[in-house]
Structure 1
Amino acid sequence: MTEVPLRRALISVSDKTGLIEFATALAGRGVEILSTGGTAKALRDAGIAVRDVAEVTGFPEMMDGRVKTLHPMVHGGLLALRDNAEHVAAMEAHGIGAIDLLVVNLYPFEATVASGADYDTCIENIDIGGPAMIRAAAKNHAFVTVVVDTEDYADVLAELEATGGTSLAFRQKMARTAYARTAAYDAAVSSWMAAAQGDAAPRRRAFAGTLKQTMRYGENPHQQAAFYVDGSNRPGVATAVQHQGKELSYNNINDTDAAFELVAEFDPADGPACAIIKHANPCGVARGGSLLDAYRKAFDCDRTSAFGGIVALNQRLDAATAEEIVKIFTEVVIAPEADEAAKAIFAAKKNLRLLTTGALPDPRAAVTAYKQVAGGFLVQDKDTGFVPEADLRVVTKRAPTAAEMDDLRFAWTVAKHVKSNAIVYVRDGATVGVGAGQMSRVDSSTIAALKAGRMGAELGLAETPAKGSVVASDAFFPFADGLMAAAEAGATAIIQPGGSMRDDEVIAAADAAGLAMVFTGMRHFRH
């Protein structure tokens, strides 16, 4: 059977967006509408004829609404095979009417959790009857159309207009969406319960997302890709408003997320900050007296790599900074806000994407990160590690000066966002050299120093900006050679986790070179 006419619908929704318009259109086509509770009241208040489910089942809603649709008169109407003589006979014998269309969106469990509600309130917002009906209707999609998303109302009406009913292909699509919704709902409940019970590694774990964007391709043109959001509403690329420019690519989204998470480490109350990202690694990060100053300092770390990069700002984008950014090709600019003058400047650059988020993500908030490997997933807490200055341990004879300590803390923050092995040179609140992703820490140190020297020559400086800088290493120096490479480049102070079997040897080398060195006791590997 292909087209199925819609004669009877059951509508029970928490989200009443578009409800009245949709139900009015159904009623206009002669569809009988069954409903429950608040949905029935909303329909009646709008003048739409509706029959209470309680009238159909012969039982009133009870137990504070926990029991209302769990009844054979409802589930029989959803599950009966219309081409099965025994099913049809059972319907006739028990007075069960067929339900051709089920419209249900579930209790707002995810929103309740996000609001910070207490345990009992969250439990009460776990829907039972809704998922049961959705699964029943989806299973019987040969005869029943199921709708779980308000954005599908228009498609249902268009299908009715085109075919006079619903096609099998349409019902299959709706069923697929319905099962994904109940799976996501159960995943949200199980994840919340695991967290509420303090279980960091539950025996079974589910992940879910909602499609935000299909893409032309992934990292490379031969890879298919799509972007899904998890509903957490963490400020960033997933929640941003795009003001202009073409659609974001897979790589754009990945790099923009990296840039914004990095710049969010710097509290706007402490001053403007800018991060420029290329291939998920920082090519320049700086603080400044103004946003323009911060951008210029970040840009001067590696002007070559900044071309075609991502710019993230921790404060409202202004016109002066926008004018500077557009002097070179930039893929994406992301900021909490942007003033109208800045938007007007960017408007002339049709390929530049401007995103605003309304807020910065909290760099200390608990976030679950996962990565697919062959046959499974790795799951961990996002690296929100932070070491207060009071917990930093000076291990050399010379302690850092106040200025060096400021730069050391800045360098340590940036190193957390650089792919391992990571070495970051910083001077006067700005990166001057970044070595990322090398198999050897010595190579990372050498590359960072080389890039600093090259940039210094390009800027016309008399000496490398690495001279007088400080250096951060994301993990301990297993030997003194990496530290000595930094010292030879002109660094005066080092920050690193410590913990190597050769710490004493590395400390002695630092003392011999007149370096100040600080241990954090925390590692920041990033793979």
Structure 2
Amino acid sequence: MTELELKYGCNPNQKPARIFMEQGELPLAVLNGRPGYINFMDALNSWQLVKALKKATGLPAAASFKHVSPAGAALGLPLSDVERQIYLAPEGDLSPIACAYVRARGADRLCSFGDWAALSDVCDADTARVLAEEVSDGVIAPGYTDEALAILKTKRKGGYNVIQIDPNYTPAPIERRNIFGITFEQGYNDLAITEDMLTNIVTENKTLSQQAKNDMMLALITLKYTQSNSVCYVKNGQTIGVGAGQQSRIHCTRLAGDKADIWWLRQHPKVLGLQFVDGIRRPNRDNAIDLYISEEHDDVLAEGVWQTTFKVKPDVLTQEEKKAWIAQLSGVTVGSDAFFPFGDNVERARKSGVDYIVQPGGSIRDDLVIETANKYNMVMAFTGIRLFHH
């Protein structure tokens, strides 16, 4: 048996703590830092997500995890000029895996504060430099270049957590966990998400581009590793809103949709034109933007507050302007880890530019849900597969 002793469990009072395997060697190595219990939970869940994304799409993938759910996940596609600005990306060309992480973190920068990063490919110097600039707890990848590892070892006064995992590792077919001293056992969820799951299109509109298929697979794979109930909005190869751990599906849909709206509002000309004071820290900038586009914008613009953030007092982004801007969002995919029980989920998704839906189906009100999707000329695929994760 091999094991790795941990400082403590989920909380400091939960001791002793360790990770171990009863048979064989641990398929990972700590190259720097001292990862904790929650770090490893994020690392192993996020690694499964990016590995599955790479297998399904053939593209490099990255994820930004917090408390065992993704704040964002993305494919390694090039960054537009606007994306570079709103994601605070460095200038110059970036490698595909660096682009993947920039997009994954940019999906929800507030929730990604202090994240765990996962990379499907070897971490290169580009990605390490991006990580060095962000508030992050650690990273897991199948390997690191010498230059990347040297950069990461300077982060957090040398204490940044760096884990290398064996990309060929396959877990045992049966997994176990203990809750309240009682052992649970189930088969490992090795379900592969593929395009074959997207063939049962139940709406009148049945046109699916390859991009839409990739976005559907991205949504499903993200949901597979998100605490249930969960709903995920995706656009152009990245999540733009994840709603996790809600007891009601409509609340998942609203939460994720609100995050998608914020992602889109960050691209509003007034937001892009904000002039920040020199030397402002990234988290402070993210918080200021979030307040500026929220109902609490008056707090940012109040006398004595805006002067510490902005060079010039910004104009108010009115409710009318926000509504008009969100109305321009389109081409979004929404996925759900279980069926939509009512058409209200489709109605809410439509408000955030959704044109594509992927969900298991199986509700007694499927006809109503399909009818609502047809009303907006959406494309909806039923997978027949539930993706609960607890």
TM over 0.5: yes
Following superposition, the deviation at residue 406 of structure 1 comes to: 2.1
Matched, 1:322 2:128: yes
Aligned to 1:199: none
In 1, the alpha carbon distance for the partners of 2:219 and 2:24 equals 29
Aligned to 1:341: 147
1:213 alignment partner, SS class? strand
In 2, the alpha carbon distance for the partners of 1:243 and 1:345 equals 13
Aligned to 2:40: 253
Please identify, of 381-390 and 507-516, the stretch whose mean Cα deviation from structure 2 is larger. 381-390
Matched, 1:214 2:9: no
Could you say if the C-alpha distance between residues 427 and 232 of structure 1 is closer, same or farther in structure 2, counting changes exceeding 3 Å? farther
Aligned to 2:54: 267
1:394 alignment partner, SS class? coil
- Percent identity between matched residues is 32
Q: Is the contact made by 1:262 and 1:414 (CA closer than 8 Å) also made in structure 2?
A: yes
1:286 alignment partner, SS class? strand
Following superposition, the deviation at residue 458 of structure 1 comes to: 3.5
Q: Is the contact made by 1:274 and 1:291 (CA closer than 8 Å) also made in structure 2?
A: yes
In 1, the alpha carbon distance for the partners of 2:105 and 2:268 equals 15
Matched, 1:488 2:276: no
Q: Is the contact made by 1:281 and 1:419 (CA closer than 8 Å) also made in structure 2?
A: yes
Could you say if the C-alpha distance between residues 361 and 501 of structure 1 is closer, same or farther in structure 2, counting changes exceeding 3 Å? farther
Aligned to 2:205: 398
In 2, the alpha carbon distance for the partners of 1:409 and 1:400 equals 16
Residues 52-106 of structure 1: per-residue CA shift (max 9 Å, x gap): xxxxxxxxxxxxxxxxxxxxxxxxxxxxxxxxxxxxxxxxxxxxxxxxxxxxxxx
Letter paired with 2:164: T
Following superposition, the deviation at residue 215 of structure 1 comes to: 2.8
Q: In structure 1, which of residues 392, 405, 421 is the aligned counterpart of residue 229 of structure 2?
A: 421
Please identify, of 223-232 and 388-397, the stretch whose mean Cα deviation from structure 2 is larger. 223-232
Aligned to 1:383: 189
1:299 alignment partner, SS class? helix
Where does structure 2 lack aligned partners over 5 or more consecutive residues?
78-95, 271-324
Following superposition, the deviation at residue 401 of structure 1 comes to: 2.3
Q: Is the contact made by 1:211 and 1:226 (CA closer than 8 Å) also made in structure 2?
A: no
- Pairs within 5 Å for 1:268-307: 270-289=58-77, 290-307=96-113
Where does structure 1 lack aligned partners over 5 or more consecutive residues?
1-209
In 2, the alpha carbon distance for the partners of 1:461 and 1:455 equals 13
Letter paired with 2:204: K
Q: Is the contact made by 1:225 and 1:250 (CA closer than 8 Å) also made in structure 2?
A: no
2:221 alignment partner, SS class? helix
Q: Is the contact made by 2:243 and 2:255 (CA closer than 8 Å) also made in structure 1?
A: yes
Aligned to 1:515: 378
Matched, 1:225 2:21: no
In 2, the alpha carbon distance for the partners of 1:494 and 1:401 equals 11
Q: Is the contact made by 1:434 and 1:447 (CA closer than 8 Å) also made in structure 2?
A: yes
Aligned to 2:315: none
Letter paired with 1:215: L
1:331 alignment partner, SS class? strand
Could you say if the C-alpha distance between residues 274 and 466 of structure 1 is closer, same or farther in structure 2, counting changes exceeding 3 Å? farther
Residues 257-309 of structure 1: per-residue CA shift (max 9 Å, x gap): 11111111023681211011000000110001401111111111011121211
Q: Is the contact made by 2:2 and 2:21 (CA closer than 8 Å) also made in structure 1?
A: no
Aligned to 1:241: 29
Letter paired with 1:217: Y
Could you say if the C-alpha distance between residues 424 and 438 of structure 1 is closer, same or farther in structure 2, counting changes exceeding 3 Å? same
In 1, the alpha carbon distance for the partners of 2:140 and 2:269 equals 31
In 2, the alpha carbon distance for the partners of 1:358 and 1:366 equals 15
Q: In structure 2, which of residues 231, 239, 250 is the aligned counterpart of residue 431 of structure 1?
A: 239
In 2, the alpha carbon distance for the partners of 1:471 and 1:361 equals 31
Q: Is the contact made by 2:193 and 2:221 (CA closer than 8 Å) also made in structure 1?
A: no
Letter paired with 1:508: E
- Which structure has more relative contact order (CA 8 Å, sep 6+)? It is 2
Following superposition, the deviation at residue 428 of structure 1 comes to: 0.7
Q: In structure 2, which of residues 240, 247, 250 is the aligned counterpart of residue 442 of structure 1?
A: 250
Q: CA RMSD in A?
A: 2.1
Residues 454-493 of structure 1: per-residue CA shift (max 9 Å, x gap): 2333354684596321001000011111222111221111
TM norm structure 2: 0.75
Letter paired with 1:484: E
Q: Is the contact made by 1:383 and 1:524 (CA closer than 8 Å) also made in structure 2?
A: no
Q: Is the contact made by 1:449 and 1:466 (CA closer than 8 Å) also made in structure 2?
A: no
In 2, the alpha carbon distance for the partners of 1:266 and 1:361 equals 16
Following superposition, the deviation at residue 373 of structure 1 comes to: 3.3
- Pairs within 5 Å for 1:46-85: none
- Pairs within 5 Å for 1:172-187: none
In 2, the alpha carbon distance for the partners of 1:440 and 1:400 equals 30
1:305 alignment partner, SS class? coil
In 2, the alpha carbon distance for the partners of 1:233 and 1:431 equals 36
Could you say if the C-alpha distance between residues 232 and 488 of structure 1 is closer, same or farther in structure 2, counting changes exceeding 3 Å? farther
